[in-house]
Structure 1
Amino acid sequence: MRVWYNRTFSSVYAAIKLVREADTEGRFTLIHSNPNRHAPAGRLAHAFHGEPTGLEREAYVDWCLDFCRRHAIDIFVPGREATALAAEHARFAQAGVRVLSAASGPALQLLHDKARFYLETDLPQAPVAEFRRFENLSEFDAAYAALRPRHARLCVKPTHSIYGLGFAVIDEERSSAALLMAGVEYHIGREDLRRGLAELGSFRSMLLMEYLDGPEYSVDCVGDEGRLVVAVVRRKLGQPGAGQLIEQRADILEATSRLAARHRLNGVFNVQFREGGGRPRLLEINPRMSGGVGMACVAGPNLPWIALKGFADGFDTVDVPAVRDGIRVAELSEAVELA
């Protein structure tokens, strides 16, 4: 069975490695494509192909369909343009290709829009942080006046973002220069922020939110059309070199299960929580493999393998090991020569 992972995040390297380790019978031929011919995942795939650059969304979808036909792909696991491709399952099915999407097209659009997602989320086990959306300075000031009396610290982030890009905690005492000199990351001076917003006039939609100061939890999961097959909860310990702790908290697992069912999540996905006020609070759902998926798999379940084998043959054919709760995990880097 021929499986294609197109251009995506760096976690595809871990995914291909883990699938190859588990596929002792050689059931799957793994293919990876990327515009960068030095892409590390290409070293592990059975076959590697280049991808075109500069294509508009519809043209890229057409290219993917043609790629599947030319290379006799059976299962396509999309990364790049995953939302657009999720809406095209029927076209690929006509070519004999099954597309392993994390959710439907409309569900993926919702998950990528944090403001809409927060407004529509009802999750008593892990409610979202209080927030306001703003697109200019006056809206920011109004949001600040509404939230600051109720919360000791506030933060900002874009409604559309990955990797935490654009996130910053607002500091009311120090300037951005003072924060820079002190080596304080992901913080911004309030007055500097206001001056910058005034200079911009209007800008892309941003969120002003209560800042949650507790530990962060990353939950790596496999879903089967809304059924949570397995989830591994990692607590980020914060100290450099301390690694992360596998901590299978019942409240976080229950919240994750509800989210999977609500959005009919499928394949490998990730949910982020952070503690605030003594309970977990939902940050976001990443409808893709997280960068730390390899650490989660150290705890027992090989998530990319479970997702692929279950999708291909049915989850009743997959052995799902118990999670080794309480162990500490970490990732180690190694130097290699690129071909």
Structure 2
Amino acid sequence: MRVWYNRTFSSVYAAIRLIREADTAGRFTIIHSNANRHTAAARLAHEFHGEPTGLEPAAYVDWCLEFCRKQRIDIFVPGREATTLAAHHARFLEAGTRVLSAATPQKLQLIHDKAGFYAETHLPQAPVAEFRRFEDLAGFDAAWTELRPRHTKLCIKPSRGIYGIGFAIVDEERSAAALLLGGVEYHIGYQDLRRGLGELGEFRTMLLMEYLEGSEYSVDCVGDQGRLVAAVARRKLAQAGSGQLIDMRPEIIEATTKLAADYGLNGIFNVQFREAAGKPRLLEINPRMSGGIGMACAAGPNLPWIALKGFADGFDMVAVPEVADGMRVAEIAEAVELP
């Protein structure tokens, strides 16, 4: 069976490694494509192909469809343009290819828009942080006036974004220069922020939110059309170099189960939580593999293998190992030769 992972995040390297380790019968031929021929994942895939650059989404879908025809792809697991491709399952099926998407196009669009996602999500086990959206300085000032009396610390982040780009804790005491010279990351001075927002005029939708002070949890999951098949929860530890702790906290697993059902989640996805006053709060759903997928799998379940084999054969054919709750895990950098 020929399985294609197109251009995506660097976590695909760990996914391909884990699948090949589990596939002792050699049933799956893993194909990977990327515009960068030196990508590390090219070392592990059975076949590697280049990808075009500069294509608009519709043109990229057409290219993917032709690639599936030419390469006789049985299963396509998209990373690049995953939301767009989720709307074209029927076209690929006509070519003999099944597409593994994390959710419907409508649900994926909502998940990627945090303002809409927060407004739509009802999760008593881990409610979202209180937030307000803004697109200009007046909107920011109104949101600040409303939220600041209720919360000791606020933060900002874009409604659409990845990797925490654009996130900052708003510091009311120090300037941008003081923060820079003090080596304080992910903070911005309140007055500097207001001045900058005023200079920009209007901008993309941003969120002003209560800042959650507690521990962060990352839950790597496999879903089957809304049913949670497997989950591994990692708690990020405050002390540098101490790794992460596998912590199958019941209310977090319960909240993740509800999210999977509410959003019809499928294949591999990741959910982020953070504590406030000892209670977990929802941060986001990532409808893809997380960067820490390898650490999660060290605790038992081989999530990329479970997702692929379950999609190929049905999840009743897949054994899900017990999670080693309480295990401490870490990732260690390894030097490799690139193709």
TM over 0.5: yes
Distance in 1, Cα, partners of 2:215 & 2:185: 17
SS at match of 1:273: strand
Correspondence for 1:150: 150
Deviation per CA, 1:114-133: give whole Å up to 9, x if none: 00000001000000000000
Distance in 2, Cα, partners of 1:334 & 1:176: 36
SS at match of 2:178: helix
Task: Output aligned runs, 1:261-276, within 5 Å.
Answer: 261-276=261-276
Correspondence for 2:91: 91
Q: How many residues align?
A: 339
Correspondence for 1:208: 208
Task: Output aligned runs, 1:62-73, within 5 Å.
Answer: 62-73=62-73
Deviation per CA, 1:181-216: give whole Å up to 9, x if none: 111110000000000000101100000000000000
Task: State the identity %.
Answer: 76
Deviation per CA, 1:49-105: give whole Å up to 9, x if none: 000000000000000000000000000000000000000000001111000000010
Deviation per CA, 1:255-294: give whole Å up to 9, x if none: 0000000000000000000001220000000000000000
Q: Partner letter of residue 97 of structure 1? A: T
Correspondence for 1:166: 166
Correspondence for 2:18: 18
Distance in 2, Cα, partners of 1:92 & 1:262: 26
Deviation per CA, 1:129-167: give whole Å up to 9, x if none: 000000000100000000000000000000000011000
Q: Partner letter of residue 228 of structure 1? A: L
Distance in 1, Cα, partners of 2:278 & 2:150: 16
Distance in 2, Cα, partners of 1:337 & 1:125: 46
Distance in 2, Cα, partners of 1:239 & 1:75: 41
Task: Output aligned runs, 1:106-185, within 5 Å.
Answer: 106-185=106-185
Distance in 2, Cα, partners of 1:276 & 1:87: 37
Tell me the CA shift for residue 239 of structure 1: 1.6
Tell me the CA shift for residue 338 of structure 1: 1.4
SS at match of 1:149: helix
Correspondence for 2:304: 304
SS at match of 2:92: helix
Tell me the CA shift for residue 240 of structure 1: 1.3
> What do you get for the CA RMSD once the two structures are aligned?
0.4
Distance in 2, Cα, partners of 1:245 & 1:93: 41
Tell me the CA shift for residue 319 of structure 1: 1.1
Correspondence for 1:46: 46
SS at match of 2:51: coil
Task: In structure 1, list runs of 5 or more residues that go unmatched.
Answer: none
Is 1:253–2:240 an aligned residue pair?
Answer: no
Is 1:325–2:319 an aligned residue pair?
Answer: no
Distance in 2, Cα, partners of 1:213 & 1:110: 26
Q: Partner letter of residue 219 of structure 2? A: V
Distance in 1, Cα, partners of 2:2 & 2:213: 45
SS at match of 1:88: helix
Q: Partner letter of residue 209 of structure 2? A: M
Correspondence for 1:194: 194
Correspondence for 2:230: 230
Distance in 2, Cα, partners of 1:239 & 1:68: 46
Distance in 2, Cα, partners of 1:334 & 1:274: 30
Tell me the CA shift for residue 5 of structure 1: 0.1
SS at match of 2:183: coil
Q: Partner letter of residue 249 of structure 1? A: R
Distance in 2, Cα, partners of 1:214 & 1:34: 38
Distance in 1, Cα, partners of 2:188 & 2:84: 35
Give TM-score, length-normalised by structure 1.
Answer: 1.00
Q: Partner letter of residue 214 of structure 2? A: G
Task: In structure 2, list runs of 5 or more residues that go unmatched.
Answer: none
Give TM-score, length-normalised by structure 2.
Answer: 1.00
Deviation per CA, 1:214-267: give whole Å up to 9, x if none: 000000000000000010000000221110000000000000000000000000
